[in-house]
Structure 1
Amino acid sequence: MADWIREPLHDGWAQALRADEMLYDSATDHQRLRVFSNPRFGRVLTLDDVVQTTEGDNFIYHEMMTHVPILAHGAARQVCIVGGGDGGMAREVLKHRRVEKVTMVEIDAAVVDFSKRYLPMLSKGAFDDPRLELVIADGAGFMRDTAGGFDVIIVDSTDPAGPGEVLFSDTFYGHAKRALSPGGILVTQNGVPFMQGAELTNTMRAFKPLFADATCYLATVPTYAGGPMAFGWGTDGDARTLPLAELAARFAASGLEPGYYTPEVHLAAFALPGYVRRLMP
């Protein structure tokens, strides 16, 4: 019989996914990494039973963290991804033909190797694209020492615990701001605000002194349970106020065929419900 993997991430709330076939189980005393197949979401990656990504719905997360800032910018040539070792973020960034170079900073080379073996459908050959430079390094240290010049920086981090915690610090955001080119855009993953409101509040508290335009936008990713997910947005430009007609023209010229993103969804994602607005300092 199939097992049910119960995710206990939030206090008072749990979701469960059926594991029809266990493809990998590290079963260590420290962190338990598992990959299993689910009839609705395909291959699922969990860390200590918390869903990290799935074959079925990862496109929502990756499209919204890439297409929103890149199309809003309009002339992005240099993009930096912090984290993203599964290759899904690089996959979507590299769909933009005008992007000349993607610098992906991943702290653990084993994550990349693991993802190539067990989750190749996420990267879809992104690691073989000559425009991608894979840097195995601590993201915080890289951002502190880089010469910068990035038009878009995407922070594809885990939740603020363990190695990912430093990527939610004021110091890291300050270094990221310095690494942006004029008019550049920084986007971050900030969890599900209904369940993890402090993540968004703390990031926005750091963004406000750094950026002329500091806010967040939302997308609903089914396996990130508990409501829509928030993505931090910081820039000194006016990219967020782009008219729909211009955004639609850029989208048409891009040749993208996304499963979730549309220009209308792009603009609507910045319309925040009251409970999210109240989390913004």
Structure 2
Amino acid sequence: MVSAARRLLMRRQGPWLFEGEESFPALGGLRCCVQIGDFDEIGRTLVIDGTVQLSEVIDPVYTTSLVFPAALLAPSRRRWLIVGGGDGAAAREALRFRDTELVRLVDVSRVVIEQTQALIPSFWAGCQRDSRLEIITRDATRVMAEMVDREEQVDVLVYDLSDPSTDDITPFSESPADDLYSEAAFRAASRCLRPGGVFVAQMAELSQLQWRAHARGRRLLSRVFRHVHSYRTHIEPFGYSESWILASDHEGVGDPTREVDVDARLAELYTGDATGLYDGAWHRQLFTLPPWLRRTLSEG
């Protein structure tokens, strides 16, 4: 059952395995509540401020949808920057691409990083011990600014953040990610990308009921990147269609459903087992939006 605010009301098995509050001085003392528990429907789950972020059941669909389109369309996957992603799942998948040399994960929450490693090891699958992974617990805005100053660039930049706070969904709370969904942050992200690099961001619910947050993010990204594409899939335990936005100045991202042979690229580049998780047909349907939604976003 999902409430009007799109918060899950599910059956938890026993007490929380972890429950704690974390404060972020770099974000003006903003606080958040982090919880980990076992749920009947979705397995072991990370919850932040009462909202499910990732669970054992959600992980395969959500994480491949976030990471694979950008990875398969990018000319190179040598260097990655993951903004957020403190649960480790996006880093796990990035490290499974054959040409990956460095994954820099920047998340402000040390608690999320440490507790998911301890209590939900499937999210990380041991990748925290991979020498190619660099974990930084700082404000990502500052880290990106420093990268711009150093002219340090990556091939793929992934925003794996909590949803931005909005008047219609979270009117009484702030998100640690709010500043990262601004045009200034998107411009900094673009300057952290090499020519041809690909940016992808989780961008909240995209449905007939809730589309404004996505449309706002798309509008801002369209001011920064030449090619911007919305995509989504239904995440059953969420009770709605989660969405992402892919953006790049690379001409190969002009049409994300035609510019790449997904099955051939997976066989060539991915060292894990994508069977049942991702293929060309699934990739194409992710980017296939109904006419009313395409019109809404174009007008939005």
Fold match (TM-score > 0.5): yes
Tell me the residue number matched to 1:114.
115
Tell me the residue number matched to 1:210.
224
Does residue 250 of structure 1 match 2:265? yes
**Identical aligned residues as a percent:** 25
Tell me the residue number matched to 1:224.
238
Query: Quick one: distance in 2 between partners of 1:170 and 1:64?
Result: 24
Query: Quick one: distance in 2 between partners of 1:272 and 1:279?
Result: 10
Does residue 171 of structure 1 match 2:184? yes
Q: Point out where structure 2 has 5 or more consecutive residues left out of the alignment.
A: 23-30, 166-174
Q: Point out where structure 1 has 5 or more consecutive residues left out of the alignment.
A: 1-5
1:99 to partner: Cα distance: 0.8
Query: Quick one: distance in 2 between partners of 1:144 and 1:222?
Result: 37
Query: Quick one: distance in 2 between partners of 1:55 and 1:197?
Result: 26
Query: Quick one: distance in 2 between partners of 1:28 and 1:84?
Result: 18
TM-score (ref. length: structure 2): 0.84
Number of matched pairs: 273
Query: Quick one: distance in 2 between partners of 1:252 and 1:55?
Result: 25
State the one-letter code of the partner of 1:187: V
Change (3 A) 1:27 1:130: closer
Query: Quick one: distance in 2 between partners of 1:238 and 1:16?
Result: 43
Change (3 A) 1:7 1:164: farther
> Which SS does the other structure have where 1:82 is aligned?
strand
> Which SS does the other structure have where 1:18 is aligned?
coil
Change (3 A) 1:183 1:50: same
Cα distance per residue 1:175-218 (max 9 Å; x no partner): 00111101111100111112431211111111112111112111
Change (3 A) 1:220 1:27: same
Cα distance per residue 1:215-264 (max 9 Å; x no partner): 211122222222x2110111011333364773321112134422422122
Query: Quick one: distance in 2 between partners of 1:48 and 1:107?
Result: 15
> Which SS does the other structure have where 2:35 is aligned?
strand
Change (3 A) 1:148 1:276: farther
Does residue 139 of structure 1 match 2:140? yes
State the one-letter code of the partner of 2:103: V
2:288 maps to which of 247, 271, 279: 271
1:142 to partner: Cα distance: 1.2
> Which SS does the other structure have where 2:261 is aligned?
helix
Work out whether residues 244 and 264 of structure 1, in 8 Å CA contact, stay in contact via their aligned partners in 2.
Answer: no
Work out whether residues 106 and 135 of structure 2, in 8 Å CA contact, stay in contact via their aligned partners in 1.
Answer: yes
1:19 to partner: Cα distance: 0.7
Query: Quick one: distance in 2 between partners of 1:184 and 1:244?
Result: 15
Q: How does 1:92-131 map to 2 (within 5 A)?
A: 92-131=93-132
Query: Quick one: distance in 1 between partners of 2:229 and 2:71?
Result: 17
Work out whether residues 77 and 97 of structure 2, in 8 Å CA contact, stay in contact via their aligned partners in 1.
Answer: no
Tell me the residue number matched to 1:23.
16
Tell me the residue number matched to 1:3.
none
Per mean C-alpha deviation after superposition, the further-off stretch among 178-187 and 270-279 is: 270-279
Work out whether residues 190 and 231 of structure 1, in 8 Å CA contact, stay in contact via their aligned partners in 2.
Answer: yes
Root-mean-square deviation over aligned CA pairs: 2.2
Change (3 A) 1:174 1:244: closer
1:49 to partner: Cα distance: 2.5
> Which SS does the other structure have where 1:155 is aligned?
strand
Query: Quick one: distance in 1 between partners of 2:215 and 2:191?
Result: 22
1:31 to partner: Cα distance: 4.2
Work out whether residues 168 and 203 of structure 1, in 8 Å CA contact, stay in contact via their aligned partners in 2.
Answer: yes
State the one-letter code of the partner of 2:140: G
Tell me the residue number matched to 2:172.
none
1:24 to partner: Cα distance: 2.6
Query: Quick one: distance in 1 between partners of 2:214 and 2:146?
Result: 26
